[in-house]
Amino acid sequence: MSLPPLEKDLPPEIRAELSPMALLSAEQLLEVSRKSLDRERESRLESLANLQKKQPLSDAESAELDELVQQAQRVMLRRAEARRLLALRGHPIPTGLAASA
């Protein structure tokens, strides 16, 4: 089976991370499609984002926020790719709340 290529505008490191997902089973893709940041990182991300609205962040806090945002974006990209692959294989697209990683 030939799958449509990943978006051309994705950075090479993201494409390299997502490409192997095509080899995952439907069960594995379902698991990936339900993942999210763990509660601790999600809470810290929220905390730093709220703090940033009130005052400038320190360099360390700003770097931490950037890292957490990147992690959250990668989780969302993996979830989206898992759902895309499931849909291409004819499986229903999962809905509902995500499980923490």
CA distance 54 to 96: 32
Specify the pLDDT at position 20.
94
* DSSP letter, residue 58: P
CA distance 99 to 101: 6
Is residue 60 within 8 Å of 68, Cβ to Cβ?
no
Q: Which two tokens stand for residue 71?
A: 């992690």
Specify the pLDDT at position 6.
67
Which of 67, 86, 88 has the alpha carbon at shortest distance from 78? 86
Is residue 30 within 8 Å of 79, Cβ to Cβ?
no
Residues of the chain with pLDDT under 50: 97-98
What are the residue ranges spanned by the domains of the chain?
24-92
Specify the pLDDT at position 9.
78
Specify the pLDDT at position 18.
93
* DSSP letter, residue 37: -
